[in-house]
Amino acid sequence: MYTDLHLHTHFSDGTYTPEFLTAEAKRFGLVAIALTDHDTIEGCDRMQVACDSVGIEFIAATELTAEFNGTEMHLLGYFIDTKHPRLLEEMGRFQEVRQNRIREMVARLRGLNVPITEEAVFALANCNSPGRPHIARALIDAKVCRSVDEAFERFLKKNRPAWVPKFKISATDAIALIHEAGGLAVLAHPLLIRRDELIPDLVEAKLDGLECYHTRHTPSISEHYEMLAEHFNLLVTGGSDCHGMNKGKPLIGSIKLPYENVRRMKARLRDNHPSRLLPEPSGTY
Ligand code: AMP
Ligand code: ZN
Ligand code: FE
Ligand code: FE
């Protein structure tokens, strides 16, 4: 019994619909999946319906963009209440920040005589939580770049000519917000941050878990984070970070996290909120 707890749809920068992503999860035999779109939960209702129809357990989640001491980090919030008013209000603000940043980055590109428009980027993104990958795709459509990687290298990466810094919630506030919405806060892909020395402070801020398994983690890296998780009494999670075709190839199926880890997540939630109703495994397993 395996799960994938890190997936994106077109409600942020993935290319799959919730329905197609769920069908792919079924094809790979996954018994539980979480949707972790950046700074939004808009895909969760549809994904829940799709999962119910094929007997997959669905975990509502999001991936919040945050920062700690100037370092960007992504915090996954699992089992969140997708109707929580303050969570929705805060995410609305993050989406506005994202949209304004797209406008600023397109203006910089136009200043460099790159012929793209914000309308083209927004039309292509077709979501409330647009990001740099959408600008990259617009640059490919405009035949300015040949690949997403090239777009990031030439224009979009930190300190490249079209890069604009983005306001981010602090990691401590993000963890508190996830908890307020009834969820568990997990540090996403710690290897991509490479700041293990920050983990004790995040634990102090009540971080619940570490994403030990991720497409970009080698087996020895996963083992390293498993050891850190054990040391700090953190939950172990994992996921493919599938963005559909946005990252060249679909990654769903590449990470198979044992279902036992989901059981442990629920046990921790029950400890925190004894009366909490949690999704049950569906189907016959
Ligand atoms: P944004 O949310 O607008 O800052 O965009 C961040 C997203 O861009 C991340 O989720 C990554 O998937 C993607 N990304 C970041 N850096 C690169 C890169 N160098 N090449 C390709 N994709 C990247
Ligand atoms: Zn993404
Ligand atoms: Fe991420
Ligand atoms: Fe992600």
Answer yes or no: is pLDDT of 51 > 80: yes
Q: 86-103: per-residue pLDDT in tens?
A: 999 999 999 999 999 999
Pocket lining: 154 vs ligand 1, CB cutoff 6 Å: no
CATH of 2-83+171-272, one of 3.40.50.720, 3.20.20.140, 3.30.870.10, 3.50.50.60: 3.20.20.140
Averaged pLDDT, 74-81: 97
Q: Please state, for a pLDDT cut of 70, what percent of the chain lies above it.
A: 98
In angstroms, what is the span from residue 111 Cα to ligand 4's centroid?
A: 30
Answer yes or no: is pLDDT of 282 > 60: yes
Pocket lining: 133 vs ligand 1, CB cutoff 6 Å: yes
Which protein residue's CA is at the shortest distance from atom 17 of ligand 1? 152
Query: How far from 122 is each of 46, 119, 136, CA to CA, in Å?
Result: 22, 5, 12
Answer yes or no: is pLDDT of 283 > 70: no
pLDDT band at 285 (very low <50, low <70, confident <90, very high): very low
Pocket lining: 157 vs ligand 1, CB cutoff 6 Å: yes
CATH of 91-156, one of 3.30.1490, 1.20.1740, 1.10.1660, 1.10.150: 1.10.150
Please list the residue range(s) of the chain that carry CATH number 1.10.150. Answer: 91-156
Q: Can you give the pLDDT at residue 44?
A: 98
Answer yes or no: is pLDDT of 48 > 90: yes
To test the pocket of ligand 1, the residue of 37, 132, 169 to mutate (highest count of ligand atoms within 8 Å of its CB) is: 132
Please list the residue range(s) of the chain that carry CATH number 3.20.20.140. Answer: 2-83+171-272
CB 28 within 8 A of CB 253: yes
Q: Which amino acid is at 32?
A: A
Which protein residue's CA is at the shortest distance from atom 20 of ligand 1? 149
Pocket lining: 266 vs ligand 1, CB cutoff 6 Å: no
Pocket lining: 148 vs ligand 1, CB cutoff 6 Å: yes
Q: 201-233: per-residue pLDDT in tens?
A: 999 999 999 999 999 999 999 999 999 999 999
Q: 135-192: per-residue pLDDT in tens?
A: 999 999 999 999 999 999 999 999 999 999 988 999 999 999 999 999 999 999 999 9
Averaged pLDDT, 26-49: 97
Q: 110-134: per-residue pLDDT in tens?
A: 999 999 999 999 999 999 999 999 9
> What whole-number distance in Å separates Cα of residue 101 and Cα of residue 153?
18
Query: How far from 123 is each of 103, 131, 151, 266, CA to CA, in Å?
Result: 13, 13, 18, 39
Q: Which amino acid is at 255?
A: I
Averaged pLDDT, 62-67: 97
CB 3 within 8 A of CB 211: no
In angstroms, what is the span from residue 192 Cα to ligand 2's centroid?
A: 13
Which protein residue's CA is at the shortest distance from atom 11 of ligand 1? 133
Q: Can you give the pLDDT at residue 279?
A: 81
